[in-house]
Amino acid sequence: MKNSERIANFALAGLTLAPLVMKVDPNLNVVLTACLTVYVGCYRSVKPTPPSETMSNEHAMRFPFVGSAMLLSLFLLFKFLSKDLVNAVLTCYFFVLGIVALSATLLPAIKRFLPTHWNDDAIIWRFPYFCSLEIEFTRSQIVAAIPGTFFCAWYASQKHWLANNILGLAFCIQGIEMLSLGSFKTGAILLAGLFVYDIFWVFFTPVMVSVAKSFDAPIKLLFPTADSARPFSMLGLGDIVIPGIFVALALRFDVSRGRKSQYFKSAFLGYIVGVVLTIVVMNWFQAAQPALLYIVPAVIGFLAVHVIWNGEVKPLLEFDESKTASQEGDDDKTSKKVE
C-alpha cells in the first residue's frame, strides 16, 4: 500500500468519526467523504490480475431501466404497505449484506496480522440437505466478519447515522473495487443512461426523493447539520459508486500501460468538480439536485479533453479489460500444456 493510499484511508476514517466530537460543515463533509471514498476504492481495484467478469454494452443499456423498475417498485411498496414492515425486511437483507461488505473491506488490513495459512487455506462448508450448495471461505474472513457482525447488529438495533455511514462506505468501496465496466465505451453508455435516469426521477417525479427519505437503510450517507428542521444532508451511494467505477477504470488503464496515474488524475479531478458543483447548485436553489447531472459531464469531459489533448483517443477506446482477462486465461492454459 502506497503512502497516499494509507493517508486516504486514515483521512476517510477520521472524517467519518469527526462529527461525533466536533462540528464539521456538512457541505465540506460531503465533498471530502465522496472524493476520499472514490480514491480509496479506485486504488483497491488495481490488482495483479484483471477482473474475470465485466459489464457488457447491453447490460449498460439495460441498467437505467432495471434501476427505474426497482425504484418505482420501492416507491409503490412504501405507498401501499406499512413503512415499518418494508424497512424491517430491508434491514434483515442489509444486515447480511453489510457483514459481507464490511468484512471484505476490513480483510486486507486484518490479513497482515494473521498466520499465512489462515489467509490461504480454504474451508468448504456444504449446506445440510443441499449438498450442491457450498460456501468457500478462509479463517481470515471469519475473523474479519466478527467486527462486521457487531457493526451490523449496532445498525439494526440503533439505526445510528455513524453505523449507517460505515456500512454505506463499505458498500461504496466494495462496489468500486469489485465492479468493472470493461471498456470506456461501456462506461460512457452507463453514465449517459444514468445521467438521464437521475434527472428524470429527481426533477420530473417525487419518486427519488420520497424513496430516499422513506428507505431506512444504508443506501445513502448521512451528514449531521446544525439545522433542527433538516438534521442531515444526504448523498446517495450511487453518486459515489457509478462515477467511481469509471474513474477506477481510468486508473487501471494507466497501470496497464505502465504509466503513472495520468488519466486517473483528470477523471478524479472531474469527479471533484462535479461534486462541488452539485453542492453549490443545491445551496443556491435550496432544493435536492440529481448529482449525476453535474458529475457525469465533469468526469467524462475532463477525461475527454485530456485524452484529445494528448492524441490518445484510439488507445483509450480500444482498451478492454474483458479481452485482457481472456488473453491471460488462454496464456495460463498454454503454459500448463507446455509444462
Is residue 245 one of the residues assigned to a domain? yes
pLDDT tens, position by position, 234-291: 888 999 999 999 999 999 999 888 877 689 999 999 999 999 999 999 889 887 788 8
Question: What does the block give as the cell for 203?
Answer: 426533477
| pLDDT tens for each residue of 286-313 | 877 888 999 999 999 999 999 999 999 9
* pLDDT single digits (tens) 109-132: 888 888 887 878 777 777 676 666
Alpha helix segments (H runs only) across the chain: 3-17, 26-44, 57-80, 83-111, 116-120, 139-158, 161-178, 184-203, 207-214, 238-256, 262-285, 292-310, 313-318, 321-338
The secondary structure of residue 132, as a DSSP letter, is: E
Residue 214 lies in a domain: yes
Quick check: is 338 in a domain? no
pLDDT for the residue numbered 281 = 92
Q: Is residue 258 part of a domain?
A: yes
pLDDT score, position 9: 87
- Which structural domain range is residue 315 located in? 1-333
Residues with a known catalytic role: 198, 239
Q: Three-class SS of residue 299?
A: helix
- pLDDT the model gives residue 234: 87
What is the percent of the chain with per-residue pLDDT over 90, rounded to a whole number? 43
The backbone torsions φ and ψ at residue 290, rounded to the nearest 5 degrees and listed phi first, read -75, 105
pLDDT of residue 130: 65
Cell numbers placing 128? 445440510
Is residue 195 a part of any domain in this protein? yes
What is the domain count for the chain?
A: 1
Q: Per residue in 173-217, pLDDT tens?
A: 999 998 888 899 999 999 999 999 988 988 888 888 888 888 888
Residue 151: its pLDDT value, please? 87
Residues contacting residue 257 through CB under 8 Å, at least 6 positions apart: 315
Nearest Cα neighbor of 306 from 253, 265, 259 is 265
pLDDT of residue 332 exceeding 70, the answer is: no
Task: Quote the pLDDT of residue 82.
Answer: 85
* Dist. CA 135–CA 281, nearest whole Å: 47
Is 58 part of any domain? yes
DSSP string covering 63-96: HHHHHHHHHHHHHHHHHHS-HHHHHHHHHHHHHH
Tell me if 339 is assigned to some domain: no
